[in-house]
Amino acid sequence: MVGDSAGGGLALALAQHLKMEGIQPQPKKIVLLSPWLDISMENDISKEQEESDLILAKETLKKVGRRYAGDCDTKNYRCSPVYGYTMEIGDIALFTGTSDILNVQARQLRDKLASHGQKLSYYEYEQMQHVWVGFPIPEAKTAMEKVIAFIEG
């Protein structure tokens, strides 16, 4: 499974759901590109971090996240997979940039997985914006080569 931005959150939430419900087949590899992992947007995002993101705005994301959640709690794993079950759901590769407002969520997932002893292929690129992996820049080319190696490995 591969997803970027909200699609990254959806990919992880789907993998969690498949595992919890015992639905086969389970994904073997999950690639998250600038994933939106917590639609509540209650993360500690510094003013500097918020200002460095030229694409996303915290207040807009909070409104969109609330609308997406509907009657569901915004911290339910189906909406915010960072709060969900992460054990035995497949190998995960996560790509994030330090100028992405969602970087704090990527780090939160990284730390959660590390605390459970779960492996994560984590790639954090300095000064990269949200969904930078799709930009025509050298860093994106390098990242895509790592995505391909992860999937094929």
Domain count, the chain: 1
CATH assignment at residue 37: 3.40.50.1820
Residues in the chain: 153
As a whole number of Å, the CA-based R_g of the chain is 15
Residues 15-66: tens digit of each pLDDT: 999 999 999 999 999 999 999 999 999 988 888 888 999 999 999 999 999 9
Domain assignment of residue 120, given as a range: 2-152
CB-count exposure of residue 121 (10 Å: 0-12, 13-18, 19+): middle
For residue 53, what pLDDT is reported? 94
Residue 96 has what DSSP assignment?
E
Residues 64-86: tens digit of each pLDDT: 999 999 999 999 999 999 999 98
3-state secondary structure of 32: strand
> Which range, of 31-40, 42-51, 124-133, 136-145, averages the lowest pLDDT?
42-51
Q: Percentage of the chain surpassing pLDDT 90?
A: 88
User: Left, alpha or beta for 50 (phi > 0: left; psi -120 to 50: alpha)?
Assistant: alpha
For residue 47, what pLDDT is reported? 86
**Under a CB-based contact definition with an 8 Å cutoff, are residues 106 and 46 in contact?**
no
For residue 88, what pLDDT is reported? 87
CB-hemisphere CA count at 13 Å for 108?
20
The contacts of residue 44 (CB under 8 Å, 6+ apart) are: 104
Residue 120 pLDDT exceeds 90: yes
